[in-house]
Structure formats: structure tokens, C-alpha cells
Amino acid sequence: MAADLHAVAAQFFAAPAIKDIREYGTGRVNDTFLVTVAGQDEPRFILQRLSSAVFAQPEWVMENLRTVCDHVAAELAAEGNPGSWRMPVIRQTLAGRDFYRDRDNGCWRVLHFIAGCRSFATVQSPFQAGEAGRALGRFHQLISGLEPARLHDTLPGFHVTPLYLAQYDRVAAAAGRRNPADIRFCHDFIARRRALVHVLEDARKEGKLFSRPIHGDPKLSNILFAERTGRAVSLIDLDTVKPGLIQYDIGDCLRSCCNGQGEEGPLPVSFDTELCREILRGYVAEARGFLTPHDYDYFYAGARLIAFELGLRFFTDYLQGNVYFKTASPEQNLQRALVQFSLAESIEKQQREIERIIGDLT
């Protein structure tokens, strides 16, 4: 880390009050730290440097965050229950800005730490699965009245699966075919499923689905659960909020929560349909008011596609030399790709049961 963390934190807090700064969390994109500060009602804060490799215009990320947080605050106030859902709170710099640019043009921000909560890497119970679904439905419901045009597209092409396939084709052509069995398996897996990548985008073109504000990364580890009650109280990491199809969000939540082995394996992994049932029940209980019949029609497609898409992204990044996702070893993104492809295959094998679960909700 080239930046002087204390000097960066001192842009947001009086320097003598900064007691401790340490790495925090397991995020794959941004650099995240927990800052402890004296003299504050809530002494802990999250300090993050947004990835310049991922976010070409991080100021757009911060504008979206401000727009979404202000909109949700107004919605909660109108409901008369502002404490029922927790949103990140931006701590401004001492100069009154939402972010700070360091001498290397790195973009830093500080968010209030949401205390009394924790996140999980894998679902611990059917109750928690239902809460995860409820969290996503609650978030979608709170932002459903926000005009998509008010949000920047911070990651053009993000969750547009045909574009990831096109990128894979370019990278694979440049990388050439290598012989190891796992690499051959990934190439073959992708080749056999090329036709499925257009399913959601075709539905959008046909007017069956339409853009709404979405979270973009509603995996289990981005859901906060109250330590005392176990209820979901927040959906964090809003950097990927943008206009998009809610089916990508629903699919991502299912992909993450219904894989008991976790995103790093071991192989093979399986998709838990009982957890799927609880997640969708929780989601629909919160989101039913704005869902259309076509939305339900594409729940299964979203779950299958997003697992395939993430595997495709991991494998493409591996072929490129691991330039997007953080890795602890050169082969980690290949392993991640194999996990997601295994999960996609498990989803395919259980299509009839998953569609029956969806049908019971309508």
C-alpha cells in the first residue's frame, strides 16, 4: 500500500483522534480498512480506496451512493419507520467533500461502521436464507421508485452476459488453447452453453423485462444480519448500484446463498433447492407489489445465467493474468470458475424443481 493511511484518514478526522487503522473484510476489489477514532459516539469507521482498475470514474460511484442513500432515507421516513433498515452513511472530509483524492489520484471514502451486525460466507439456516431473500426484496422495494436515469452506469456492460462472452472470446483467442484438463473443461463448458447467454437481454429487447435500479452484487457476504435477532438489516457494498435487470440480482443472491460449499469450493458444489425456496419466499414477500408476471418467468434463467456469467468472468480474468479480481495464488480465479460452472450445472439438473418453487409463489 503506497498511500500513507494515517495521512488519508486525517482528511476525514482530526489526526490526533485517529487511534488505529487495520485491514478489514475479504472484498475482492476495493482496499478496505477499519479506523478507530477517539471522541466519536460511534468510534469505528470504514475507510476504503476504490479500485481504479475497476471504477474508471469513482466520483460516479460516490454520486450514486449519495443518490441511493438519500432516496432510501426519504422512503423510510415516509413509512414512519426510519430505523427499520440500515444504510451506509457517508462521512465527509474535513473540507466537506464525499471523497478524497490522494497524490496518486486514488479515490478514498469513509463510511460509518454499522455496529451490532455481522455477515456470513455461507448460509447458516433456512431462517437466514429467508432473511437474505427478504433483504434483497426490501432493498429493491425501497429503490423501486428511484428513476434509473438518475443513476450513473458506473460499470458499462456489468451484468450484460453477452458482453462478457464477447470479452472471453477476445481474451481466449489471444491466449491460445492450453492443454491442462481444467482449462480445457472451462473452454468446453462455455462452448456448450453459448446459446443461453442472451436469454435476459433478449427478454429486455422484447419488452418482457425492463431496467430498474439494482444492487449489482447482492451476494450473502454483502447482507448484514443483526447479532441479537438474526434478522437482515442492511445490504451493503453499493458500488455496483446501477440501472439493470432485477433478475441478475435475484440470480446472484440465489447463486451465493444456495451454495453451501462457498465460492472457493471444494468441488463439486451443489445448489440447495430448499434454501432457494426460503430465499424466494422472503424476496417475494417484500417485492410482490412491483413484480410483473414476466419477472417470475425469468427467475430461473437469472439463477442459471448468473452462475455461468461469474464463472465466465473468473475464467476470463484467469486467462488475462488476474487483473480484475484479487487473488492469493495464480490459479485461484481458475478454481473460482470451476466452482461456478459446477454450480451452474447443479442448477440445470434441478430446473424442474426450481421452476416448481417459483410457480408456487405466483
Summarised one tens digit per residue, pLDDT across range 170-226 is 999 998 777 799 999 999 999 999 999 999 999 999 999 999 999 999 999 999 999
Q: Give, in order, the Cα–Cα distances in Å from 330 to each of 112, 176, 186, 319, 335.
A: 34, 18, 16, 10, 10
- What is the largest distance, in Å, between two alpha-carbon atoms of the chain? 61
Residue keyed to cell 435477532: 229
* Stated pTM of the model: 0.90
**Domain encompassing residue 53:** 5-115
Residues 74 and 175 in one domain: no
Q: What is the pLDDT confidence band of residue 26, given thresholds at 50, 70 and 90?
A: low
The span from the CA of 163 to the CA of 226, in Å, is 38
Residues 102 and 251 in one domain: no
Residues 344 and 199 in one domain: yes
Residues 134 and 103 in one domain: no
Residues 233 and 266 in one domain: yes
pLDDT of residue 30: 80
pLDDT of residue 104: 86
Percent of the chain at pLDDT > 70 equals 98
The span from the CA of 172 to the CA of 164, in Å, is 12
The span from the CA of 279 to the CA of 146, in Å, is 24
The span from the CA of 59 to the CA of 359, in Å, is 42
| SS3 (DSSP) at 349 | helix
Residues 91 and 188 in one domain: no
Residues 304 and 223 in one domain: yes
Confirm whether 92 is domain-assigned.
yes
Residues 53 and 137 in one domain: no
Q: Of 89, 115, 141, which residue is a domain's last? A: 115
Residues 227 and 333 in one domain: yes
Q: What is the pLDDT confidence band of residue 105, given thresholds at 50, 70 and 90?
A: confident
pLDDT at 27 over 70: no
**What's the CATH code of the domain at 332?**
3.90.1200.10
Residues 188 and 227 in one domain: yes
pLDDT at 266 over 70: yes
Count of domains forming the chain: 2
Residues 134 and 107 in one domain: no
